[in-house]
Amino acid sequence: MSNRMSVLSRRLGRFAGGFSFATVAFFSIGLYAAANTKGQVVFLFAGLVLVCLFASFFLWLAHGFAWAMIPEKPAEEKKPAEALKPADPLEPAEALKPADPLEPAEAMKPAEPMKPAEPVKRAEAMRSAEAKRPAEAMKATEAMKPAEEKVIVSEDPPDAKYTITGRRVY
C-alpha cells in the first residue's frame, strides 16, 4: 500500500504543480491583455485563471492527504531464503485431564395441572325479530339508510371578483 500511495502522491503533486504553473501563466497573459486591449479576451483569461486556481488548490490538498497516508517506515520485504524456511515445530501440548464426570440432572418435576380461571358463561339467546319493539326496529332501519347529500349553495354571486390570495373584492 505504501508504494501505491507514494505513486499517487507523486502524480497528484505533478498535476497540482502543472495547474499552479497554468494559473500563473494565464494570470500574466490576462494582465498583458488587459493592458493592451479592451476586448473580451480579458474575461476569457480571468475564467481560465479561476478554473486553474481551484483545480490546483484541490489537487494540492489531495496530494497532501496522499502524502500523509504513506507510512514512515516501509514494510520490510522477506528474503527468498527466509520465505522458504520452515516454521518452528510446535511444542507438544500438555497432557489433557479427563473431563469431570457429568452429574445427573435433577429429575423433571411434573407440570402442575391447569386450573380453570372462571367458568365459561353461556351466550344469551338471540331474540327473534318479532320480539323487537317497534321503536327499536325503526332505529335499526334508520341506521341502514344512506345519509342524505346536502347541496352546498354558494353565497357569492356569479359575478364576484377575487384577488390572487382568494379574498373577495367588494
- 152 is written with which cell numbers? 352546498
Identify the helix (H) or strand (E) that includes residue 169: strand 168-169
Q: Which residues of 44-82 are buried (b: 16+ CB within 10 A; e: fewer)?
A: ebeebbeebbebbeebbebbeebeeebeeeeeeeeeeee
Nearest to 44 by CA among 57, 33, 55: 33
pLDDT at 91: 66
Residue 89: pLDDT over 70: no
For residue range 34-68, list pLDDT tens digits in order.
Answer: 888 777 888 888 899 999 999 999 999 999 988 88
Mean pLDDT of 131-148: 63
pLDDT at 165: 83
Residue 18: pLDDT over 90: yes
List the Cα angle 39/45/50 in 5-degree steps: 140
Percent of the chain with pLDDT over 70: 64
Better pLDDT: 60 or 125: 60
- Name residue, grid cell 373584492: 169
Range with the lowest mean pLDDT among 59-63, 114-118, 143-147?
143-147
pTM of full prediction above 0.85: no
Residue 1: pLDDT over 60: no
Beta bridge partners of 161: 169
- How far is residue 129's CA from residue 145's CA, in Å, rounded to a whole number? 19
- Name residue, grid cell 504553473: 21
Residue pair 71/2 in contact by the 8 Å Cβ criterion: yes
- Name residue, grid cell 354558494: 154
> What average pLDDT does the chain have?
77
pLDDT at 128: 65
Query: Which of 30-44, 64-78, 101-115, 153-167 is most confident?
Result: 30-44
Mean pLDDT of 12-36: 91
- Name residue, grid cell 490546483: 56
Q: Where do the structural domains in the chain lie, given as residue ranges?
A: 3-69
Residue pair 42/33 in contact by the 8 Å Cβ criterion: yes
Mean pLDDT of 119-141: 67
Residue 14: pLDDT over 80: yes
Mean pLDDT of 68-97: 68
List the Cα angle 15/19/25 in 5-degree steps: 145
